Amino acid sequence: MKRTILILGILGALAVILGAFGAHALVPKLPADSLASYKTGVLYHFIHTLAALAACILYLLTEQKLFRTSAYIFIVGILFFSGSIYLLATRAITHLEISWLGPVTPVGGVLFIIGWLCLAIAGSRMEFKSPSNL
């Protein structure tokens, strides 16, 4: 789990770097629709890095494996969803022929959905203490 949290720290830092890069370096170089897609990639990158971190913390507190699974699914979803968007949105300046990457984005979206469902199921299995038992 230490390595997973380290990876999430790196993914969080990368989200900040890529967000700043998009806001400052890409604005004058990309068409508006590509920039909007890039920003969507950054937003989902951030959200799911934090969701994976929360899942890791919940796993450490409860040892429910489904929380850990959720974190791993979020990480792969970030790579597929945001990673493919970053590459597709910057084609105008990279000139990469990666149109085959288009179908990868929805796979990442499906992974996000599965990750959230795993998180929900694991959460529904948690036993909460009432305030009087604390």
Could you tell me the residue ranges of all domains in the chain?
Answer: 2-125
Is the pLDDT confidence value at 99 over 70?
Answer: yes
Residue with tokens 């022929």: 97
Q: What is the mean pLDDT of residues 65-85?
A: 97
From CA 11, how far away is CA 31, in angstroms rounded?
A: 26
More confident residue, 4 or 127: 4
- Looking up tokens 């990868």, which residue turns up? 104
pLDDT of residue 134: 46
Nearest CA among 37, 18, 59, 41 for reference residue 108: 41
Radius of gyration of the chain (CA): 17
- In whole angstroms, give the CA distance from residue 70 to residue 51: 9
Q: How far apart are CA 17 and CA 41, in angstroms?
A: 13
